[in-house]
Every structure is written in C-alpha cells, then in structure tokens.
C-alpha cells in the first residue's frame, strides 16, 4: 500500500478529512459568531415596529382567509419583524456521540420556542404549511429539525409543557401554564412539549408518494414518549393549531469547528449526530 493511501486512511479514521471538507460549508459570519459556540444568537429578523398589530388583531384579520391567503399574511408579519422577542432567540444545544470509536461534540442553535406573531404580551403561535416554513427557514439560513433533534431539544428543555387540544385558544393554554410556574421569558430557557414539530425527513421525497406531504412529530408527554409519532398522512398544504415551527441555525460547531448542519445531515457517517434515519440528502421541503 502506498504511503499516500495510508495517510488518507488515517485521516478518514480520525475524522480529520470530514473536518476539512466541511470547511467549505462554514457559515459566512463575523469573527465573534464563529468563535463563541456557547453564546446566544438571534434570528436575522427586523425589529418589531411600534405600530405593528397585536396577535388579537392578526387573528381577527385572518379568521376568514383561505390557507394561501393566511400563509401570505403570516409571511408579511414575520418579514416585517412582527414577532415576540422570544421567537428571535437561538440557544446552544450540545450533543455528544461516539461514532466508530471516536467521540464527537456538536453544538447547534435552536430557537427557544416556536414561531409566533405579535408582541411579548399579545402573541399567538402560528400554524404554517411546510412550504411556508421552509421559505422562512431559507431566508434566515436555518433548518427545520429532524425527529432526533426534536427529541434532543425536548430532553434539553428547561421547561416541559403539557399539550391541550384546542384551536386558537391553544396559545392561551400555553400562557396559562407558563404563568402558573412563574416563567420569565428573559431567562431564555427552552420550552418544549406543547407542539407537534414540522420536521425534515427522507419521507419528504418518498418515491411512492402521489402528492407532497408534511411530516410531523412530537407533542411529548415525557422523554422518548411522543403523543404524535412520525406521521406523513397530511398533504403539504395542511396546517393546524397543533403544528409548531422551530428553527435551527445552519451554523453549528463540531469539535469546535464551525460548520453547516446541512453538511452533517448529508454525510453518511456524521448524520448519526442529528438523524435517526441516517443520511438525509435533501434536508428541506421542495419550494415550488
């Protein structure tokens, strides 16, 4: 065996080649963001305008709209910055896994709660179709979570809520739970358990499909005990109150090296850090 081949095998076994390859997927950002892997980050959403409508008014305006019209209204509000402060916060989450005998530490950044519209006092969690959620994710250089990521976030969450199956009043039920425990949003703690996540999965591109689908999972009662197992029975235009959209920054840190999560999910070996179903070659919903 030639010396060059021996060196390549050694690099592969140590993971160094992967580290070198993903350098091409480093997120363009300032030096601070690339050197502070355990600090809070924020979604690149405009500041909320003083004359932005409250959630109560937004609900009134969209109550009689069809799905497409409602999705466009949601896009306008989020695009203009009409979201509560907690919907902007990205908190580091740590994953430690051993792959092929080598230990890896991955830090990724998750929003502390699901996307919402309105002010800090008057907000509502907004149901989105996966295509609209993906459009927002793309504009923010973010990803939607996998099943494994949803489980990791729930296990990590400081605040674990219960689910209450009611429609527009769902947000109020969450607020009541948070008020009962005296929760302070300023602590930037992760909240989980109160929504079914729209997730990415290889099921999105299943060749046996006759139409595009939304993949949902979650609504945990306890760790590893979701009320909603992975489900792909709804068409892609379907959205209801129980669905939540949680964004992940595409920027992560693998053993201290800044990389894109998308690169990890596409890798046949290192996808195990974030996926229960192996490599996900297309970690996104198709945008038409």
Domain ranges of the chain: 26-273
171 three-class SS:
helix
pLDDT in tens, 34-47: 666 778 999 999 99
Residue carrying the six token digits 């203009």: 80
* Whether pLDDT at 251 is above 80: yes
Percent of the chain with pLDDT over 70: 84
Percent pLDDT > 90 in the chain is: 61
Q: What is the pLDDT of residues 259-286, one digit of tens each?
A: 999 999 999 999 999 999 999 999 999 9
Would you state the pLDDT for residue 44? Answer: 95
Q: Mean pLDDT over residues 143-162, rounded?
A: 94
pLDDT single digits (tens) 194-204: 889 999 999 99
For residue 35, the model assigns a pLDDT of 63
How many C-alpha atoms does 170 have within 13 Å on its Cβ side? Answer: 25
Higher pLDDT among residues 137 and 1, named by residue: 137
Residue among 156, 147, 162 at smallest CA distance from 193:
162
30 versus 219: the higher-pLDDT residue is 219
Q: Above 90 in pLDDT, residue 48?
A: yes
- Is the pLDDT at 52 greater than 90? The verdict is yes
pLDDT at 14 over 50: no
Residue 4 is predicted with a pLDDT of 38
Q: Is the pLDDT of residue 254 over 80?
A: yes
Residue 71 has pLDDT above 50, yes or no: yes
What is the rounded CA–CA span in Å between residue 122 and residue 194?
18
The CA–CA distances, whole Å, from 87 to 46, 131, 135, 188, 248 equal 12, 19, 17, 10, 12
Q: What is the pLDDT of residue 1?
A: 45
Q: Distance between CA 195 and CA 274 in Å, rounded?
A: 20
Highest-confidence segment of 8-22, 105-119, 186-200: 105-119
- Sheet order of strands, 213-222 included: 225-235, 213-222, 196-198, 243-244
Could you give the angle at the alpha carbon of 117 between the alpha carbons of 116 and 120, nearest 5°? 85
pTM of the model: 0.84
45: closest CA among 91, 81, 86? 81
| pLDDT(129) > 70 | yes
pLDDT of residue 2: 43
Q: How far is CA 217 from the centre of its chain?
A: 12
Confidence of residue 50 (pLDDT cuts 50, 70, 90): very high
* Residues 260 and 241: beta-carbon distance below 8 Å: no
């Amino acid at each position: 065996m030639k010396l060059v081949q021996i060196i390549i095998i050694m690099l592969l076994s140590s993971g160094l080649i992967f580290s070198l390859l993903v350098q091409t997927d480093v997120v363009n950002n300032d030096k601070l963001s690339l050197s502070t892997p355990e600090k809070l980050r924020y979604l690149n959403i405009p500041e909320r305008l003083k004359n932005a409508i409250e959630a109560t008014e937004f609900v009134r305006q969209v109550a009689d709209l069809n799905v497409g019209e409602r999705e466009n209204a949601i896009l306008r509000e989020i695009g203009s910055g009409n979201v509560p402060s907690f919907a902007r916060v990205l908190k580091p989450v740590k994953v430690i896994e051993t792959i092929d005998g080598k230990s890896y530490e991955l830090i990724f950044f998750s929003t502390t709660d699901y996307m919402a519209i309105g002010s800090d006092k008057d907000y509502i969690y907004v149901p989105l179709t996966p295509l609209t959620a993906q459009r927002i994710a793309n504009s923010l250089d973010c990803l939607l979570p996998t099943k494994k990521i949803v489980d990791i976030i729930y296990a990590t969450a400081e605040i674990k809520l219960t689910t209450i199956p009611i429609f527009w009043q769902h947000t109020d039920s969450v607020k009541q739970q948070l008020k009962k425990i005296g929760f302070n949003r300023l602590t930037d703690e992760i909240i989980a358990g109160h929504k079914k996540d729209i997730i990415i999965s290889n099921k999105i591109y299943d060749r046996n499909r006759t139409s595009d689908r939304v993949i949902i999972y979650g609504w945990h009662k306890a760790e590893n005990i979701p009320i909603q197992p992975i489900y792909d029975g709804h068409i892609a235009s379907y959205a209801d109150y129980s669905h939540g959209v949680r964004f992940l920054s595409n920027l992560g840190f693998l053993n201290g090296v800044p990389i894109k999560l998308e690169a990890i999910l596409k890798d046949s070996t290192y996808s195990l850090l974030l996926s229960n179903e192996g490599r996900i070659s297309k970690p996104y919903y198709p945008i038409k």
